[in-house]
Amino acid sequence: GCAGVLERSREQLLRQTCEAVLLGVLHPRTAISLVLQVLSDAGSLLSCCLNAACMALLDAGLPLTALFCGVTCALQPDGSILLDPTARQEQEARAILTFAIASSEKKVLMATTKGSCSVEEMQQCLAAAQRAADTIFQFYRDSVCRRYSKS
């Protein structure tokens, strides 16, 4: 439907994450426009958007200081951490934390939470997200290799 407050908030998160890694000084007087269209939402939407944004920036050949990936962690009622939850798991979780992890030193580029959690739980989720970031960066590398090996 119509773009509401939630979309604006997500746009701000994505825009500032991309701005942090893009080397804007190399493209003066240029507008870089990123358009994301959700085709289907089966959970972990924000981290999917982040991954799509990063891969699109890579494909465009824009100079970046680091790659970033989005990881969603769901804290289940029994205290266990679930990465990349489905929509159903998100609903049942008592907290959902989404992080954008940069490829350099696995620092946190963006963080947003839904629901409340303790400080220890947040740190555990962050550690799990940083470990999972490796898998996603490997996927980026494989995708880029595949793309350029065909042509």
Partner 1 sequence: LSICSRTVEPLEYYRRFLKENCRPDGRELGEFRTTTVNIGKCLCSITTADGSALVKLGNTTVICGVKAELAAPAVDSANKGYIVPNVELPSLCAERFRSGPPGEEAQAASQFIADVIENSQMIVKEDLCIANGKLAWVLYCDIICLDYDGNLLDASVFALLAALKNVQLPLVTINEETGLSEVNLKQKNPLIIRKHPVATSFAIFDDTLLIVDPTAEEEDLATGTVTIVTDEEGRLCSVHKPGGSPLTGAKLQDCITRAITRHKEIKKLIDKVIKSITPK
Return residues touching partner 1 (CB under 8 A): 5-6, 8-9, 11-20, 66, 97, 100, 102, 104-105, 107-119, 122-123, 126-127, 130
Please report how close the Cβ of residue 34 comes to partner 1 at its closest, in angstroms: 13
Q: How far is the CB of 85 from partner 1 (least distance, A)?
A: 17
Closer residue to partner 1 in complex, CB, 33/151: 33
> What are the φ/ψ torsions at residue 101 (nearest 5 degrees)?
-105, 130
Q: Which is nearer to partner 1, 86 or 104 (CB)?
A: 104
Output DSSP code: residue 72: E
Closer CB to partner 1, 73 or 82, in the complex = 73
- By beta-carbon proximity to partner 1, the closer residue of 4 and 39 is 4
Residue 72 CB, nearest approach to partner 1 (Å):
14
Spatial CA neighbour of 38 closest among 26, 29, 30, 46? 46
Phi-psi region of 106 (alpha: psi -120 to 50; beta: other; left: phi over 0): left
Cβ at position 138, least distance to partner 1 in Å = 20
At CA 123, angle to CA 38 and CA 6, rounded to 5? 30
**3 state DSSP class of 150:** helix
Three-state secondary structure call for residue 14: helix
Residue 15 or 147 having the CB closest to partner 1 = 15
Q: What are phi and psi of 35, to 5 degrees?
A: -115, 125
CB 95 within 8 A of CB 75: yes
User: Closest distance between partner 1 and the C-beta of residue 64, in Å?
Assistant: 13
